[in-house]
Amino acid sequence: MAGRRPRVGVLALQGDVREHVRVLSELGADVELIRRPAELAAVEGLVIPGGESSVIDKLSRAFGMQQPLRDAIAAGMPVYGTCAGLILLADRIADGIRDQQTFGGLDVLVRRNAFGSQLDSFETDLDVPVLGEPPVHAVFIRAPLVQEVGEGVEPLARLADGRVVAVRREQLLGTSFHPEVTGEHRFHSLFLDTVRAA
């Protein structure tokens, strides 16, 4: 089972698509770029990259992808969202722009740009017990924050002050930060393990 090459997609409407494709390919997955419902139907799991959550939301509607994505998540497709991807997996947004919508699936309340502008980007090391040692070196770029965690959602990582920056619920995984830009592959490996198990 562990040797099987899972067929996964990266939602390629906007954002840091290439970085995720590179990491997933290095980990042995067959990776497809997903822009259309038929392409989504052909993969076993999906990564929603960082970028502009409001732009990805609008483009998903323009490309006829919003409802197929919601349906796939509801049907149990493994999905990993980083930064904007976490926002799009959240059931609730504290400070979305007017009419902003999400795909949902994670019973969390997320605040967009919780740490400020691009100039307020920062890096820190996080203890992530589910991944073991060493700590995860995390890069936060206009990052969201999980303000409330609902029923069945497991916090995986917190900042030193206790604020939640990574969560998991069953087949869904979300991080406020960008492991794909630091050479940190363990979250993507965890995602691929979920895909194989599904």
DSSP assignment of 15-40? SSHHHHHHHHHHTT-EEEEE-SHHHH
CA distances from 26 to 5, 20, 192 (A): 11, 10, 12
| Active-site residue (options: 180, 184, 185, 188) | 180
For the cut 90, the answer to whether the pLDDT of residue 3 exceeds it is no
| Active-site residue (options: 19, 20, 44, 178) | 178
185 assigned to active site: no
154 assigned to active site: no
pLDDT of 197 reads 93
pLDDT of 156 reads 97
pLDDT of 96 reads 77
The structural domains of the chain, with segments of one domain joined by +, span: 7-197
What does the pLDDT average to over 91-102? 89
- Whole-angstrom Cα distance, residue 94 to residue 145? 10
Instruction: State both tokens at 95.
Output: 């400070």
100-145: pLDDT as tens digits: 999 999 999 999 877 766 666 788 999 999 999 999 999 888 889 9
20 assigned to active site: no
CA 179 to chain centre: 10
152-178: pLDDT as tens digits: 999 999 999 999 999 999 999 999 999
7-61: pLDDT as tens digits: 999 999 999 999 999 999 999 999 999 999 999 999 999 999 999 999 999 999 9
pLDDT of 130 reads 95
Q: Which of the following CATH numbers is that of domain 7-197: 3.40.50.880, 3.30.70.141, 3.30.565.10, 3.90.25.10?
A: 3.40.50.880
Instruction: State both tokens at 173.
Output: 């995984």
pLDDT of 46 reads 98
Bridge-partner residues for 150, per DSSP? Answer: none
| Active-site residue (options: 19, 20, 44, 83) | 83
What does the pLDDT average to over 66-86? 97
For the cut 50, the answer to whether the pLDDT of residue 1 exceeds it is no
The model carries a pTM of 0.94
